Amino acid sequence: MKHKPGILDWVFIIGLSAVWSSAFVFIKQTAPIFGAVGLVFMRLFISAVILGLLFLRPKHIKTIRENIVPIFIIGATNVTIPFMFFALSAYYINAGSMAVVNGSTPLFAFLFSILLLGFTFKWIQFFGILMGIVGLVIFVGVDTLDFHPMANLSAVMGAMMYGLSMVYIFKLNFKDTKLMAAASMVAATLCIAPLLIFFPIPWNIVTTESMLSVLYLATFCTGLAYIPYFILIRNVGPVSTSIIAMLVPVFGMLWAYVLLEEKITLLMSIGCLFIVIGILMT
């Protein structure tokens, strides 16, 4: 494993941050139509179909069978469970509050890397993560943060699952990242499918525009994005990969400026500076 991201790794980090931050615009449009469970299922199902057609072949059956338990663990901990935790928290706290909590993902990746992988504790990384979280709070604005005990706990659990799953994926050291991305997406889809019995998709109100939005979310923000995501975890480890969580709100600000013509304030700029410094330290 490389200790520091190279040029291609930074391309992946910045690219994933930009793509995943754009997802918020489309989630806001589609969640009220499909519902939390329906939206997550559609994202995962379409992603599983795309990745399955691209990368799953009969020759992979033996490998999948031998790794079926780790594949389902990754699918559940890296996709299904955190998606649902954040979907549940969204009912009570705003997107900015969730972004701050999601920004704690590097802290969990850092702690789990020490506990489960035996990584050396480095103060500069620790303070870099804390600085990034402070930057997120400044970026979002303390006065705009929502505090709801169960909702905040739900979001924290989502961030913790992301950190834990990154460490688990790194520990497995699975060579074929495309196969792992495809197989775990199928597993994640199977994990959430039973919930549709209790939370069915209201197809009567689904529009062509909402379906196109879901297709974008599934193809670029969920499916294809997980290929460089797995490559990053394998190449630079869970801590460096997890800094994407800090960059997502920054690119979200840029998307909002470009697509929604929202203003960029001085506090947002200061928060971004803290985030960037924290990332460089991490």
Neighbours of 132 (CB within 10 A): 27
The more confidently predicted of residues 95 and 66 is 66
Q: What is the pLDDT of residues 12-22, one digit of tens each?
A: 999 998 888 77
pLDDT score for 281: 79
Distance (Å, whole) CA 247 – CA 242: 10
Average of per-residue pLDDT across 269-278: 81
Yes or no: say if 214 and 33 are a contact pair by the CB < 8 Å rule.
no
pLDDT score for 194: 94
The more confidently predicted of residues 51 and 28 is 51
The more confidently predicted of residues 272 and 141 is 272
Average of per-residue pLDDT across 52-56: 93
The more confidently predicted of residues 150 and 59 is 59
Yes or no: say if 75 and 222 are a contact pair by the CB < 8 Å rule.
no
Average of per-residue pLDDT across 46-63: 93
Distance (Å, whole) CA 118 – CA 164: 14
3-state secondary structure 137-156: HHHHCHHHCCCCHHHHHHHH
Among 3-7, 100-104, 184-188, 256-260, which is the least confidently predicted range?
Answer: 256-260
pLDDT score for 149: 79
pLDDT score for 24: 66
The helices-and-strands tally (H runs, E runs) of the chain is 14, 0
What is the pLDDT confidence band of residue 95, given thresholds at 50, 70 and 90? low
Mean pLDDT of the chain: 85
Average of per-residue pLDDT across 154-168: 90
Flag whether pLDDT at 2 surpasses 60.
Answer: no
Does residue 35 come out as left (phi exceeding 0), alpha (psi in the -120 to 50 range) or beta?
left
Distance (Å, whole) CA 156 – CA 89: 9
Q: What is the pLDDT of residues 219-273, one digit of tens each?
A: 999 999 999 999 999 888 898 888 888 888 788 777 767 766 667 777 777 877 8
Yes or no: say if 135 and 271 are a contact pair by the CB < 8 Å rule.
yes
The more confidently predicted of residues 167 and 95 is 167
Give the CA-trace dihedral at 150, 162, 16, 31, to 10 degrees: -40
Yes or no: say if 114 and 198 are a contact pair by the CB < 8 Å rule.
no
Cβ neighbors of 223 (< 8 A, separation 6 or more) are 46, 47, 48, 50, 51, 181, 185
Yes or no: say if 33 and 207 are a contact pair by the CB < 8 Å rule.
yes
Average of per-residue pLDDT across 30-34: 84
Neighbours of 15 (CB within 10 A): 14
Distances (CA, A) of 264 to 132, 133, 246, 275: 19, 19, 17, 15
pTM of the model: 0.85
- The two most distant CA atoms of the chain are separated, in Å, by 55
Distance (Å, whole) CA 230 – CA 209: 30
What is the pLDDT confidence band of residue 142, given thresholds at 50, 70 and 90? low
